[in-house]
Amino acid sequence: MENIIREGDDVLLYLDKRRSYLVRIERQKRIHTHKGFIDLTGLIGREFGTRIHSNKGVEFIAFKPTIRDYIFKISRRTQIIYPKDISLIVFFSGIEPGSRVVEGGTGAGALTAALASYVRPSGKVYSYEIRREFLEVAAENLRRIGMIDYVELKNRDLTEGIEERDVDAVILDMATPWLVVPHAYEALRGSGAFVSFSPTVDQVVKTVEALRQYGFAGIETFESMFRGMQIERGRTRPETLMTGHTGYITVARKALK
Amino acid sequence: MENIIREGDDVLLYLDKRRSYLVRIERQKRIHTHKGFIDLTGLIGREFGTRIHSNKGVEFIAFKPTIRDYIFKISRRTQIIYPKDISLIVFFSGIEPGSRVVEGGTGAGALTAALASYVRPSGKVYSYEIRREFLEVAAENLRRIGMIDYVELKNRDLTEGIEERDVDAVILDMATPWLVVPHAYEALRGSGAFVSFSPTVDQVVKTVEALRQYGFAGIETFESMFRGMQIERGRTRPETLMTGHTGYITVARKALK
Amino acid sequence: MENIIREGDDVLLYLDKRRSYLVRIERQKRIHTHKGFIDLTGLIGREFGTRIHSNKGVEFIAFKPTIRDYIFKISRRTQIIYPKDISLIVFFSGIEPGSRVVEGGTGAGALTAALASYVRPSGKVYSYEIRREFLEVAAENLRRIGMIDYVELKNRDLTEGIEERDVDAVILDMATPWLVVPHAYEALRGSGAFVSFSPTVDQVVKTVEALRQYGFAGIETFESMFRGMQIERGRTRPETLMTGHTGYITVARKALK
Amino acid sequence: MENIIREGDDVLLYLDKRRSYLVRIERQKRIHTHKGFIDLTGLIGREFGTRIHSNKGVEFIAFKPTIRDYIFKISRRTQIIYPKDISLIVFFSGIEPGSRVVEGGTGAGALTAALASYVRPSGKVYSYEIRREFLEVAAENLRRIGMIDYVELKNRDLTEGIEERDVDAVILDMATPWLVVPHAYEALRGSGAFVSFSPTVDQVVKTVEALRQYGFAGIETFESMFRGMQIERGRTRPETLMTGHTGYITVARKALK
């Protein structure tokens, strides 16, 4: 993959862990920060990872944005799904290049982008969302991240049915996942994965009961806790700030009747 | 993807969360379990996810093994890297189909298989291991999982240098990751990712200090804790058994000088 | 307090974190361990904290047992309430020397001993237990720990009523705490504390609903997780073994109608 | 214990989990809150736990403050030691009514108050603090909480020596606990407890090394994590906000030479 910054590319201008700017490179464009402005023209033709200074002499690094960077920026504007959860959802779903995945709901497209990134180029994410205004946001985000070609956005209600068949995984981040369980059973190939993310215990109980009833097996629910470390010789310690809970992840596989 | 069980395929015979058997399908082969034996011939031509009974009438489900299943089976025989950590390593490394990744050490090939699974078909994992006996185990595991074509196994010491250039990520699960930091800097493309997994605080401190010294940025260290839930209406609770600590994950990106 | 070992005293013979022996000092008595036997006569007249060697030359330390040591030994023989939970229960209950406390169920008397230890000499623990066989075990344990004088053991069912009035705290470690809520309200002085320990989410929900219904305020539920550290310069790390869940603690205070 | 509100008593005016007011009862005094003012005269002669309304008709509950309430109010103005840690420190130190305890540093007296509350009436807390301005704050706090009689405040540097002998516990919440270890050994009775609270790994490593060198045994280090639950039928879940780290607790006991 080419590693040179071109016009039209996105760049993550990184100052420190808490401050970074996701910008599109255009000629004659300046980006204004608390630490002065940066002339983006100067980045064109340079390699990703290059250092650049604001007019106030503060150094930024022009990183190539990863899916995680995009998700972080997306999530600041809408509801949040954390990298710690996305990574587990992806891994436990067993998806890989070529997989066909049903997702619901799309939201702003953060999880969608991560899924698309792993199933491309031959796979596909069929992403359901009933709120039309979210679909537009998601489409824009996916276009920017370069994942739109691997996603089919659908303005439909997943609790009323899934149109696809023989899919490899059904992945849910929605309020009533248990209502989708029978449809997921129909849509999945044998041995295919069901994965659901829910904040409350009650959602999990209803979902697991539905999974048992409809013939899923290998049902597991778990949560992950994520804690940062402050690494400084002589003063190393876990960070004080921590998110105590995001949601539970439930996984299962379709067993044939 | 085809979903029919053929001779030569691997199948996960699933009994419950704690008991499952990873077997290769052969004609006339029987697999013996605590719950009786299962005649594998009967599975040929059936769909993955099918139910099969042992001669004692106990039901098993013939799941298609995922990378996670393989890793779980591999890890029982050697040292352990947990799915919770693999998933974070993969996601934070930013790898995707087509990525070129340097890994060390190979060990039994568990993390290698996960990495290969996401970079294929056009990407590659260059996996370094100094212990020749491990390389043989890893090669066998990767062959079985179907990932060997996307991996180049190298019987070399990563602390003495990396042969590849412009790689997208360097991923380490070894005793002295800080010794690899200067080589990782040479091998990575600008903005490329460094990821290291280490059990002790002292390893992390040394690694982070080396990263700062050699011009990496976006350095973060964290750990994740993973807790299962027992879901049963009227008796729902977190599980008593939990692994308290596996290791810290440190991530960083190459900033150009 | 006197710090000399006398006949009849209990001593904790400490070998390491995992191996210690709680013994009563008697003349001519030998205690047999995996590391040889120890002649207890030699300890009489010595100070607590003294070192003593087994006939095989292995060193033990003769510690004065704390409530925590007793509880640890008790809990190995029956169900478990952990120090991490006992300490929170005691502190959040607001008990102090002189407090009058209702407890149920007694079990083997572990939590009872801790409560008695803090309310003595002028306070009292009224401990309810329906299983007569447990009461006998508890009485024996409390006698040994020296707490029996501060406890009134009652072979009664707490769900049928509390006989005491104007108590400072009602503390529950039993299967159906919500059935005790109305009785606790009657028994407590205004502003008095209700504390309940329960393993499942469902127990907690029922209990909190009962507390709201009966006029309690300041209702909070929480859990604590406890993780040991392995401290060794160059190899410091959290311990692998950890108990993932023991129970939730719910606290509340009586608001007058 | 009397449960009637008198002039000069402290009362916790409780609105909800996040809003409460610790006030001293005086005739003709009004307390102003965001929900209107409350005339404290009306509380005199009423029982603790009584409900009272502000002039805007909002209901408050007049709870009797516990040590935990006082500590919470104290800690908002200075550095923080959490109830979860105080409770473990108290329990693992093995203190009880009558214990003699050395503490350092005093800070604003939060932990001091908790210790005094459990050792009274016959025990004593000898609390060392080098910063004279803190001692004054602590004295005022302890007077208000009613614990001053059980505490001897000392404007001395604990790293230079401990004046007391044969104490039951030495309890430290200070920057350099390892410098106190040899003095703690001198001051403690055989089998007495050393307890130290420290935020960083490096402090813990130095302290544990000193403990090993000076003849302590039963050395353990741990941390506790505390997570609130939101209990609401149909929407029960762990709370999002959580403190990720406060400090490590190290405990040990004096073994004689």
> What are the chain C neighbours of D61 within 8 Å (beta carbons)?
217-218, 253, 255
Interface residue of A53, A86, A96 to substitute, partner B, most B CBs within 10 Å:
A96
List pLDDT tens digits, range B68-117: 999 888 865 556 788 999 999 999 999 999 999 999 999 999 999 999 99
Give the pLDDT confidence of C168-198 residue by residue, as tens digits: 999 999 999 999 999 999 999 999 999 999 9
Exposed, middle or buried by CB within 10 Å (0-12, 13-18, 19+), for C43?
Answer: buried
> Which is nearest to A62 in space by CA: B221, B188, B190?
B190
Size of interface A-D (CB pairs under 8 A): 57
- Chain D neighbours, 3+ Cβ pairs < 8 A: A, C
User: D108 vs chain C: nearest CA distance in angstroms?
Assistant: 19
Average pLDDT, chain D: 94
**Which one of B121, B168, B219 has the shortest CB-CB distance to A97?**
B121
Residue C246 distance to chain D (closest CA, Å): 13
Q: What pLDDT sits at residue C256?
A: 94
Catalogue the E-assigned strands of D50-187.
50-53, 59-63, 100-104, 124-128, 151-154, 167-172
Helix or strand or coil: residue D38?
strand
Judged by CB atoms closer than 8 Å, whether chains meet at D239 and A240 is answered as no
Do D189 and C47 count as a contact with CB atoms less than 8 A apart? yes
User: What residues in chain A have their Cβ under 8 A from chain D's Cβ atoms?
Assistant: 199-202, 223, 227-228, 233-246
Residues in chain B closer than 8 A to A64 (CB atoms): 190-191
User: Closest-CA residue in chain D for A246?
Assistant: D240
Q: How far is B230 from chain C (nearest CA, A)?
A: 10
Contact A147, A138 (CB under 8 A): no
Q: Which residues of C touch B243 (CB under 8 A)?
A: 240, 242
| Residue of B237, B239, B242 for testing the chain C interface, max C β-carbons within 10 Å | B237
Is B238 in Cβ contact with C245 (below 8 Å)?
A: yes
Rounded to whole angstroms, what are the CA distances from D4 to B85, D10, D45, D62? 57, 11, 6, 11
Contact A253 B49 (CB under 8 A): yes
Quote the CA–CA distance of D150 and D146 in Å, as a whole number.
9
Does position C164 have pLDDT exceeding 70, yes or no? yes
Are A171 and B198 in contact, with CB atoms under 8 Å apart? Answer: no
**Non-local CB neighbours of A130 within 8 Å, separated by 6+ positions:** A105, A155, A156, A157
Q: How far is B158 from chain C (nearest CA, A)?
A: 22
pLDDT at residue D157, rounded to an integer: 97
* pLDDT score recorded for residue D75: 66
Q: Across the interface, do A239 and D245 touch by the CB < 8 Å criterion? A: yes
Q: Which residues of B touch C200 (CB under 8 A)?
A: 234-237
**Neighboring chain B residues of A96 at a CB cutoff of 8 Å:** 67, 117-118, 120
Q: What is the pLDDT of residue A2?
A: 79
Asked whether the beta carbons of residue C91 and residue D96 sit closer than 8 angstroms, the reply is no
A partners (3+ CB pairs within 8 A) are B, D
Average pLDDT, chain B: 94
The DSSP 8-state label assigned to residue C146 in this structure reads T
Chain A residue nearest residue D225, CA to CA: A244
Cβ pair D244:A245 closer than 8 A? no
Provide mean pLDDT across the span B222-227: 96
Residues of chain B neighbouring C227 (CB-CB closer than 8 A): 244-245
Q: Which long-range contacts (CB under 8 A, 24 or more apart) does D201-206 make?
A: D201/A236, D201/A237, D201/B201, D201/C236, D201/D248, D202/A233, D202/A234, D202/A235, D202/A236, D203/D175, D203/D176, D203/D177, D203/D178, D203/D248, D204/C229, D204/C231, D204/C236, D204/D248, D204/D250, D205/C231, D205/C233, D205/C236, D206/D178
- D76 pLDDT tier (thresholds 50, 70, 90): low
Structure tokens at A179: 């209502």
Tokens of D257: 């030479």
Query: Which residue from B202, B234, B242 is facing C202, i.e. has the nearest CB?
Result: B234
Asked if the model's pLDDT at residue D138 lies above 60, the reply is yes
The answer to whether A87 touches B90, Cβ cutoff 8 Å, is yes
| Per-residue confidence (pLDDT) for residue A72, from 0 to 100 | 84
Query: Which residue in chain A has the smallest CA separation from D233?
Result: A202
For residue C106, pLDDT beyond 60: yes
> Left, alpha or beta for A130 (phi > 0: left; psi -120 to 50: alpha)?
alpha
For β-strands B241-243 and C241-243, DSSP reports them as antiparallel
Q: What residue has token string 């940066």? A: A38
Residues of chain A with Cβ-Cβ distance to D239 below 8 Å are 244-245
Which pLDDT belongs to residue D71?
A: 87
Chain B residues with beta carbon closer than 8 angstroms to that of C244? 227-228, 238-242
Would you state the pLDDT for residue A77? 55
Q: Cβ A244–D235 below 8 Å, yes or no?
A: no
Count of C-beta atoms within a 10 Å radius of residue B130:
17
Neighbours of D76 (CB within 10 A): 8
ipTM score assigned to the predicted complex: 0.94
Q: Which candidate from A3, A166, A189 shows the least CB-CB separation from B189?
A: A3
CB contact under 8 A, C240 and B237: no
* Main-chain dihedrals φ then ψ at residue A215, nearest 5 degrees: 95, 15
The answer to whether D174 and D105 have CB atoms below 8 angstroms apart is yes
Which stretches of chain D sit within 8 Å of chain A by CB? 199-202, 223, 227-228, 233-246
Longest dimension (CA), chain A: 68
- Residues 6 or more apart whose CB falls under 8 angstroms from that of B247 comprise B85, B197, B198, B199, B223
Q: For chain A, which ranges sit under pLDDT 50?
A: none
d(CA C237, CA C229): 6
State whether B199 and C237 contact (CB < 8 Å): yes
Partners of D229 on chain C (C-beta within 8 Å) are 204, 221-223, 248
Mean pLDDT in residue range B12-24 = 93
Long-range Cβ pairs for the range A22-31 (8 Å, 24+): A22/A65, A22/A69, A22/A70, A22/A73
D contacts of C254 (beta carbons < 8 Å): 49
Of A200, A227, A240, which has the smallest distance from its Cβ to D235's Cβ?
A: A200
Partnered with residue D227 across adjacent β-strands are C223
Determine how many CB atoms are found less than 10 A away from the CB of residue A90: 25
For residue B242, which residues of chain C lie inside 8 Å, CB to CB? Answer: 242-245
Picking from D3, D17, D91, the nearest residue to C87 by CB comes out as D91
> What pairing do the DSSP bridges indicate for beta strands A167-172 and A188-198?
parallel
Between vectors from CA D236 to CA D230 and to CA D239, what angle results, nearest 5°?
35
Closest CA to B73 of B3, B155, B140: B140
Contacts of D208 (CB under 8 A, 6+ apart): C231, D219, D221, D250
Residue D61 C-alpha, separation from nearest chain C C-alpha, in angstroms: 7
Centre a 10 Å sphere on the Cβ of residue D192 and count the other Cβ atoms it contains: 29
Cβ contact B240–C243 (<8 Å):
yes
User: Comparing C-alpha atoms, which of A239, A236, A237, A235 is closest to residue A227?
Assistant: A239
Using one digit for the tens of pLDDT, what is the confidence trace for C18-47?
899 999 999 999 999 999 999 999 999 999
Q: Best of A87, A195, A219, A242 to disrupt the B interface by mutation (most B CBs within 10 Å)?
A: A87
Task: For B117-163, write each residue's pLDDT tens digit.
Answer: 999 999 999 999 999 999 999 999 999 999 999 999 999 999 999 99
Question: What mean pLDDT comes out for the span C215-231?
Answer: 96
Cβ distance B240 to C239 less than 8 Å, yes or no, reads: no
The two tokens of residue A203 are 């959602």
Q: How far is D87 from chain C (nearest CA, A)?
A: 5
- Residue in C closest to D92 by C-alpha: C68
Mutate which: D84, D178, D201, D230, vs A, most A CBs within 10 A: D201
Cα separation of B232 and B228, whole Å?
13
Residues on chain A touching D197 (C-beta within 8 angstroms): none
**What pLDDT shows up at residue C81?**
84
Contact residues, chain C, for B223 at CB < 8 Å = 238
> Which domains does chain B show, CATH number per domain?
10-63 (3.10.330.20), 68-254 (3.40.50.150)
Q: Cα(B1)–Cα(B8) distance, rounded to whole angstroms?
A: 16
Pairing of strands C237-238, C241-243: unpaired
Residue C96 has pLDDT above 80, yes or no: yes
Do A190 and B47 lie within an 8 Å CB cutoff?
A: yes
